[in-house]
Amino acid sequence: MKYQPNRDYVSNDVVQTPLHLAKRIVDHFKPSGRILEPCRAGGHFHRYMPGAFWCEITDGRDFFDWNQPVDWIVTNPPWSQIRAFLQHSMKVADNIVFLMTVNHVWTKARIRDIYSAGFGLKEICLCEMPPEFPQSGFQLGAIYIAKGWRGQIKFSDVSVKTGTKRAPEYA
Ligand SMILES: C[S@@+](CC[C@H](N)C(=O)[O-])C[C@H]1O[C@@H](n2cnc3c(N)ncnc32)[C@H](O)[C@@H]1O
């Protein structure tokens, strides 16, 4: 077990995505049209998606009550509810980007959910793990799931490498 990722970490559903990482993810995927941040917390993704619709349970807007169609959902969802969040996202959005550890998308149940809903895995974009996030040993990624996608999975990387100077626009 020595070389296994740590499965004893405490999941924390209320961590906020650092602004510089939210910006890099939005810059990378360039969502357009009707956009929804389904659990905005302090609005770190929302800041870079002006005009986007939003939900946040602590502000009285439950994502599971949202039923309007949108073109994009971009968020860091509560990791303890990823399956339910993804299932509901696929009912309302054509393009979904979830920031989460990449293992979250590899269970048979999740892959089955995605393909049986008529979606496909379009891109895995690696991101560095912010120190304030739960540290599990699994790689963090922005996972792009798109309606109707049956092509290859693109592999990309927006992480800021340790020891390299962060680009000024992301500092
Ligand atoms: C991991 S935090 C991420 C916040 C934000 N998306 C970000 O990236 O900084 C998850 C958020 O989901 C919210 N949340 C949990 N269940 C929800 C629900 N059913 N509807 C809306 N928001 C919810 C929590 O209150 C928390 O603020």
The reply to whether CATH 3.40.50.150 applies to domain 19-162 is: yes
**3-state secondary structure labels for all residues of 116-158:** HCCEEEEEEEEECCCCCCCCCCCCEEEEEEEECCCCCCEEEEC
**Ligand 1 pocket, residue 64 CB under 6 Å:** yes
Domain coordinates in residue numbering, the chain:
19-162
For residue 68, what is the DSSP state? S
Q: What mean pLDDT value characterizes the chain?
A: 90
Query: Mind listing the pLDDT tens digit for each residue in 68-121?
Result: 999 999 999 999 999 999 999 999 999 999 999 999 998 999 999 999 999 999
Residue nearest to atom 5 of ligand 1 (CA): 40
Question: Per residue in 21-49, pLDDT tens?
Answer: 999 999 999 999 999 999 999 999 999 99
- Residue whose CA lies nearest to ligand 1 atom number 16: 57
Q: Is the CB of 136 under 6 A from ligand 1?
A: no
CA distance 171 to 165: 9
Q: Average pLDDT, stretch 124-145?
A: 93
pTM over 0.85: yes
Q: Whose CA is closest to atom 26 on ligand 1?
A: 14
65 pocket-lining for ligand 1 (C-beta < 6 Å): no
Q: Which residues pair with 96 in a beta bridge?
A: 73, 145
Residue 98: per-residue pLDDT: 98
Q: Report the distance separating Cα 89 and Cα 66, nearest Å.
A: 9
The answer to whether the beta carbons of residues 36 and 73 sit under 8 Å apart is yes
* Closest C-alpha residue for ligand 1 atom 24: 14
Inter-residue contact 138 to 100 (CB < 8 Å): no
